[in-house]
A and B are shown apart, each in its own frame.
Chain A
Amino acid sequence: MVVARPGARPATAARMATPVAGVSRLVVSGVLGVIAWILLAKYVVANPLFLPTPYAVLLAAIQVARSGELLNDVLVSLSYFAVGSVIGFVGGVLLGVLLGANQKIADYVDPWVSAAYTAPLVALTPLLIIWFGIGLWSKTIIIALLVVFPVTIGTIAGIRSTDRSLVEVATSFGATRGDMLRKVMVPWALSFILSGARIGVGRGVIGIFVAELFGGASKGVGLMISNAGQVFNTPLLFVGIIVLAVMGIGVTTVIRFLERRMAPWRTQSVV
């Protein structure tokens, strides 16, 4: 028999951090990260060619921001990312609902989805340029391909895990197949879909870099990183990486917010 230690806190959702505590931990994490970076750059790596200090990166960021190039590059990359992510998300949800709700179709298509999810799709970039030309479409499709499959897999998992009692209740109230999907299964699957979306947009951010590197770009954050690397401007290379990371954090935060608003019944459990 397991006896709870006196005073031990229960491992439940009730122990979730308050917003203020969450922010303070974020700040502490950031400060510790920067201190570790400074120590690594100054005393461990000790070569700015391989790891610049945060100060050098900050100076490079200010310089590129003042010139207007950074904003220009960010806007270009964001446009690819936004279009690609939306296509990937919508496509992923539609495909996921179809496969989650129809076992026969899933039997045919599931292996292809699994294969496409794990295959190095970025290797298709040269072909995508030929198929879709150099411009917005080849790049957005690379991003969409990276986003679509995690969303599909999340959606399938969500649809298939719908609470059987809910299905039975809806059936007993005479719900049609469409009603069942719209009013029971898709709402139930929302948190799964958004979890898939979070993974998907993470891959989409990598897609920005790949698309701009191999997809015939003349502007963009990915290209900025590549160019900075080629001319050994390591601080600028780090600026680009940080910008992409911030974009990823921003989009993920928005999805988390949506998750809390749209699927509030899903609480996080921590121990």
Chain B
Amino acid sequence: MAKHMIVRPLMALLVVAAMVAGAIGTARPQQPRYTVRFGVVGTTSTMYYAPLVVAQDKGFFAQQGVQLSQTVIGPDDNLVRAVAGRALDMGIPEVSIAINGAAHGAPVRVVASLTDRYPYDLFAAKGSKSYADLRGKTISHWTVAPEVSVALIRQLLAAHGVKEGEYNLIAGGGLAARYAALTQGAVGAAILTAPYDLLARKNGFTDLGGLYDIPAVFAGVITNTNWAAAHHDAAVATLKAMVLGFRYAANPANKAEVVKMIADIGKTDPAVVSQTYDQFFKTQTFLLSWDLVPSQRSMQGVVDILTSLGQLPKGANALSYFDLSYLNQALAQAGK
């Protein structure tokens, strides 16, 4: 009898413990239901990648049942080709390149946006104080292909009286190479973004203006239309995780944590990353697509520029290249 009095409570305790353990188990991130092959064109150490970086770091993808298999493949046109050829399911390229690919028959659509504008500034050498001083100078950009960023530079210069042919635009490589060329006096000006724009300002180079004055979506999430149609829930779940990532990053209370995540990826100075956080989330909030939703003006803006370059047929409509239905469902699921 006395033996039963000890054993029974012990058995009951074990049963309760097992039930609690089971309950804890279900609260953990669920087993991945979807594997999404996701491409980026380079390092994700720039602040506008925060929705992706935070979603990975905070486990938002896992919470949505998504196992993200991330691949670096550049440049942007190669990423678009990889998505078009089903080597990848989704990715983040320059939106204009994806639209151009779609116009050439690639089965891709833009399903979300990270930046509503091109977050780039035109920095001139220390001796140059105005646009007029750029006449006869070499301007270093990442490309000279007839694409949107080049059109934006030409528009910016033309708006300040400097015509095409009065300067020499060159393909100067990546951001670090362009900044180095500017500091060494190899070029008269360079197109820069964070964190090199901060360094350039700090070191006395002249910020003549930003490409962001003209509305045009820059970086966005694309997907293969056939894959998305067959894996609808995976596409929605991936975007939902990124929306949650964006909201987490945009909350000022999380600034220090987000800055550390981004700084760790790029092995960059947290103080500099902190400034880029303020730039994107406080002072120049128009640069970002909040909740990954692009503005109508910036969507049409990028399409109009591509049309003016002869890359798209006249009268092209942005809605032909954007499909925000997955994002809308993700937002509905994520709530306010």
Contact = CB atoms under 8 A, between A and B. Distances in A.
Interface stretch (A25-33, A107-115, A128-136, A260-268): A128-136
13 contacts: A50-B85, A126-B173, A134-B170, A216-B172, A226-B143, A226-B171, A229-B75, A230-B97, A230-B143, A231-B100, A231-B311, A232-B80, A232-B104
A215 B85 CA distance: 30
B104 A216 contact: no
A87 B78 CA distance: 34
Interface string B272-314: 0000000000000000000000000000000000000001000
Interface in B67-111: 75-78, 80-81, 84-85, 97, 100-101, 103-106
Contact of B181 (A129, A231, A232): A129
A81 to B, nearest CB: 18
Interface string B100-135: 110111100000000000000000000000000000
Interface string A174-216: 0000000000000000000000000000000000000011111
Interface size class on chain B is 35 or more
B319 to A, nearest CB: 20
A198 B299 CA distance: 51
B100 A217 contact: no
| Centre residue among B103, B145, B174, B187 by max chain A CB count within 10 A | B145
Contact of A129 (B78, B173, B311): B173
A227 B143 contact: yes
Contact of A214 (B100, B105, B173): B173
A213 B177 CA distance: 12
A126 B106 CA distance: 33
A50 B81 contact: yes
A139 to B, nearest CB: 11
Contacts of A125: 173, 177
B252 to A, nearest CB: 36
Interface residues of A, number: 25
Given A49-B81, A226-B145, A227-B145, A232 B101 contact: yes
Interface string B155-193: 000000000000011111110110011001011000000
A142 to B, nearest CB: 12
Given A130-B180, A216-B186, A223 B104 contact: no
B144 A134 contact: no
A130 B78 CA distance: 28
A250 interface: no
B177 A129 contact: yes
Contact of A126 (B105, B145, B147, B177): B177
A231 B171 CA distance: 15
A85 to B, nearest CB: 22
A218 B169 contact: yes
Interface string A211-243: 011111110000100110111101000000000
A216 B170 contact: yes
